Structure formats: C-alpha cells, structure tokens
Structure 1
Amino acid sequence: MTVTLTNGTLTVAVEPLGAELHSIKDPHGRELMTNADPAYWTGHAPILFPIIGAVQDDRYHVDGTVYHLAKHGFARRSMFVKVAQTDTSARFELVDDAETRKVYPFAFVLHVEHRLDGATLHTEVTVTNSGDRDLPASIGFHPAFAWPLPYGRDRAAHRMVFSDAEVDTVAAIAANGTIAAERRPSPLDGTLLTLNDALFADDALVFDPVQSDSVTYGAEDGPQLRVDFRGMPKLGIWTKPGSAFVCIEPWDGIADPEGFAGDIFDKPGIHRVAPGATHRAAMSVTLVE
C-alpha cells in the first residue's frame, strides 16, 4: 500500500516494493519525478543494494563459491515492511531470508527512511550485519527527476551545476555493464553540465571519484532541485535518450572493472561491515524556488 508523506511544502509517495520513492510534488501539486514511461524506463528511485551496477557476467565469488546477482542487486525488487510512520516520515525494513541467501549468503537488516523537512526530502539507508562474519555491501541511490521540470522551461534549457570542480575524465561503461579500462573526457565546462541526449549515447556518466557533495539541476531562471550527497564518493548521471527524466545517482560503490574475477570482498567500492556493525548512506533532495 502506497505511503504518502506531506508537510504542506512537499508531498511524496513511497511504495513498500523496494521502499522506493515514486513521487515528489511541489506545493502546487506539480510532479518533480519521472513519468515512468514504459517505452524508456519504469523505475522511479530504486535503492541499490548490495551492489551497484553489474558484476561480471552477473556472477560473483565468495570464498570460491559462485553466486548470481542481477544489476544493482535485489533490494529494489524486494518487498519491505513498514516499521514506522508519521505525517512526514516513514521507515521500512528488509531482513535476509531463504530467497536473499540464494544470491547473497549473508545475514543483514536493511532500513530505508524517507523524511520531509521543509522543502527537503531526506533519504537514509542503513545496513546492519546481523550475522557472525563480515558483510560485503555497497549502497546507492537512483532517483529519476522530470526532464523538463514542470516550470515551463524547455528541456534544452536544463543543466546541472556541480558544487566543486571535478577531474577531467569520467569512467566509461563497457557493453556488458562493467567499468571499462579506458576513461572518457569529462563533458563538464567548469562546474556546468549542459544536458543533452548525446551525453548518454554510451550509457551513464560516472564520476569516480566525485569531488562535489551536491548538484543543482534545472533551468537557470526557474525553480531547481538540489541533490546533496555528502560522504558519497561516486556519482552517476543517466537517462535514456528521448525520455522525460534524468537520474542523479549518488553511490558508495561501483560496477565491477571489466574482466574482474576476484572475491566480492576485493571488488572496488565494497564496504566490509563487521558483525554487529552498521553501514550508512544518505542523500537529500531540496526544491529551490
């Protein structure tokens, strides 16, 4: 059952499947997220866990045993339980079971919390290792925002402004979804990314590492969205050319390097969570008018 949160400034809708944010509306009821056109992509804002991107051939190794895991992991297709709710916040929980252990042989408790504060939506994800051995995990966010935003500006007028200067190359995605050895020139002009479909002809732009801790998106002379992601070391920007959305994706992990065949604990971007410990990732979205 859809969970609705509102504070008079923002109204959001969250689905228990994936604890996924499906809608952010401004004070006038205008939708700020994707229209989820099935001709392009039906996602809204999936939570990425326990991996981000693809593992080589959808397979990975734990102590010599091979497991199969689809791109971005299983949390986005798992049914969460709502464990707390107020008018402005909701907390969801996913606990390992026989199905998750078929693809991820670890004990965990995953929490996703969405919380409104004025014109800001905060989302926090925590994974707690409830087992007796180290837990390998990455957490990522994948929100898809309306492109164009509903403020009368053309799609071509939309851009992103990074909070800091970035390195002059970005990671490239190979045909199988892994990270290619050769990097691409960065399309940034200083801190400005002018959006156009051609940027995404070869999949996402992957800033690894990302120096910024926020990106502001929209037309220069209209209301904008600021996405804050302090502490997240990587950032993906993605769309399907021709669609009506663009994703701003803070990650604390990344896809396998092309050809990687090592153990999951040796995978770049994997966090080793000790028994009883918790790993956290957070982002926020603010409407700037």
Structure 2
Amino acid sequence: MNILENDKLIIESKNSGAELTRIYSKDLKKEILWNGDSTHWSRHSPILFPIVGRLKDNKTYIEDKFYNMSQHGFARDMDFEIIYNDNTSITYRLISSDETKKLYPYSFELLIKYTIINNSINTNWIVLNKDTKDMYFSIGAHPAFNIYDDLCNYYLEFKSRDIVKRISLEGPYFNSVKEVYNLNNLRLEPKIFEKDALIYTNIDSINLKSNKSKDYININFKDFPLVGIWTPYYKDTNSTAPFVCIEPWFGLADSVNSDKIYTNKAYINKLKPLESFNSLYTITIEKE
C-alpha cells in the first residue's frame, strides 16, 4: 500500500487499479472508506474506465469490431505505475498495451492523482488520446463510505444545478428518464436500493449525514453529468451492506434497447487525437 498522511488524514492506495483503499480521519478516530470485506463487496473505490456500468451482453461494437468487456471496464483490474509521489500526492499511470487493445482498440494514457489537503482528498483524472483517430470513453468513481449505524438514520443532502433527472434501471441497463422536483434531501432506507443504484443528473455535491452524528462526508463533483448512489440490497432480510457508494460519473450503462455501438452510448465522451480530458472530485470529512 502507498500512504499519504497529514495532521488530519491517512489515506492509502495501491498500484492495482490505482484504487483508493483507506481514508482515516484522525480528528474523528474513524475509518471513512469501506474496508473491502468480501462478505458484502471486495472493493473500496475502484476506477471505472473505459465504461461505466454494464454493456448489453458484455459486448460493444468499436471501429468495425466487437469487443467483450465486463462491468465497469478493465482499468480497475490492471496494474498502474507510480510516476510521482511526495508527502501530499501520488500519481498513477496506465498506458494502453497489447493487453488493453484486446478489449478496447484505442491508444491512451490514463492518470489518477490523489492529493490530501487538510481534511480533504482530491481525485484528479486525466485521459489522453494517444491515437491518430478520435477516441471515445467513459470514466467514473465508485467510493464506498462506511455506515456505522442503522441505514435509516442516514440521509443525503443534494446541491444541484438546472433540472435534475432520475434515470431508472431495468436490471443492469438504464430504461426511463424522469424529471425530479425538489430533490434537496433523501432519507436512506434499504428498500430504495431494491432495483440497484439510484442515478441522477445535474448534481454538484452530496452530503452523507447521520441523525446521530455531527460529522459528515461531503463529496463535491461540480459539472459531472451523473451520480450513482448504491449499496448491495438483500431482499430476504430487507437490509443492505454497511456502506453507501456515492459515484460521480462521466458515463452510463447501456440502455435496455442498446444497439451495442460504442459511439452511440449515452453520455459517451470524445477526444480528438492528442486531446486530453481533465476532471476532479473531492471528498471532505466535515463537522457541524
């Protein structure tokens, strides 16, 4: 594990998937990030690239050829190299290879940078098109935050822009899209995750709060098109895992009526040759 530390936080990350694996608050003496217990979910905060969600039948048509790719893409299961590391930040890099081109035909460079500033963690993404043609991709975050009490004691506060829409799922694929009015807060309970993730557009930040605590987590992802909110739901007991994922996305699963053409995916991103994509989201441990 690779460790960054200041007087407020300890964060750990690893080369495999460039995944953030631990956030510890010294002030609160509390683990913030899910520990990866495979009883519920073996990951902590995987990087989703070059797809978010699932492809129809795990297949997509790119550059006149079909490619097979599992849910959320391959980056989360590949080894990144560290290209920079100091007391406050670490930067990982994944470069396209013969292995990645069996799954995804483009030449690319993906950089993931973590920086600690006081009681915040900045996550920077840079995607560079190293190809001679336009490159299409999706990218997303999937951090899981610990729930220390009954889920029903927790709620979300939203800061939104423009008109918020709710994207509903049918199985692993998106189906209907409807406008949502007055989405200021949402009380959490197991039943709302019965059909998998809640997905919204035009949200800039979310606070994860508990009725029984003055500390809370703020996830700021201004100008991201989508956010997913998820925890595993167990129908037999009407219960969930002891964490909630708040997932800023630049991409979406295939629709139920997908034609499997990659460039037709909803919320797909395009880069011209040698063009780069840059984005940032921030996790902050706050106290009222």
Scaled by the length of structure 2, the TM-score of the pair is: 0.92
8 Å CA contact 1:35, 1:245 repeated in 2: no
Residue matched to 2:31: 31
Query: 5 Å matches for 1:1-289?
Result: 2-28=1-27, 29-148=29-148, 154-164=150-160, 170-175=166-171, 177-180=172-175, 182-183=176-177, 190-207=183-200, 209-210=201-202, 212-220=203-211, 221-241=213-233, 242-289=240-287
Local SS of the residue matching 1:268? coil
Aligned partners of 1:82, 1:144: CA distance in 2, in Å? 23
Aligned partners of 2:165, 2:204: CA distance in 1, in Å? 18
Local SS of the residue matching 1:122? strand
Identical residues among aligned pairs (%)? 28
1:231 Cα shift? Answer: 1.6
1:281 Cα shift? Answer: 2.3
Aligned partners of 2:56, 2:122: CA distance in 1, in Å? 33
Structure 1 residues 185 and 194: CA distance shift in structure 2, 3 A: farther
1:170 Cα shift? Answer: 1.6
Structure 1 residues 169 and 113: CA distance shift in structure 2, 3 A: closer
8 Å CA contact 1:147, 1:246 repeated in 2: yes
1:157 Cα shift? Answer: 1.6
Aligned partners of 1:194, 1:71: CA distance in 2, in Å? 28
1:64 Cα shift? Answer: 2.6
Aligned partners of 2:19, 2:260: CA distance in 1, in Å? 31
1:63 Cα shift? Answer: 3.0
State the one-letter code of the partner of 1:178. Y
Aligned partners of 1:169, 1:134: CA distance in 2, in Å? 29
Scaled by the length of structure 1, the TM-score of the pair is: 0.91
1:166 Cα shift? Answer: 7.8
1:165 Cα shift? Answer: 7.0
1:139 Cα shift? Answer: 1.1
8 Å CA contact 1:165, 1:191 repeated in 2: no
8 Å CA contact 1:36, 1:44 repeated in 2: yes
State the one-letter code of the partner of 1:223. D
1:235 Cα shift? Answer: 0.6
1:167 Cα shift? Answer: 5.2
Deviations 1:127-179 (A, max 9, x none): 1011111111111010000013xxxx54422111001378575211222x111
Local SS of the residue matching 1:156? helix
1:263 Cα shift? Answer: 2.5
Aligned partners of 1:8, 1:111: CA distance in 2, in Å? 27
Deviations 1:235-254 (A, max 9, x none): 10000132111000000111
Aligned partners of 1:40, 1:234: CA distance in 2, in Å? 25
1:259 Cα shift? Answer: 2.2
Deviations 1:68-88 (A, max 9, x none): 111111110010001110111
Deviations 1:99-143 (A, max 9, x none): 100000110010000000111100011110111111111110100
Query: Structure 1 regions of 5+ residues with no counterpart?
Result: none
8 Å CA contact 1:166, 1:191 repeated in 2: no
Query: Structure 2 regions of 5+ residues with no counterpart?
Result: 234-239
8 Å CA contact 1:9, 1:27 repeated in 2: yes
Local SS of the residue matching 2:4? strand
1:190 Cα shift? Answer: 3.8
8 Å CA contact 2:161, 2:204 repeated in 1: no
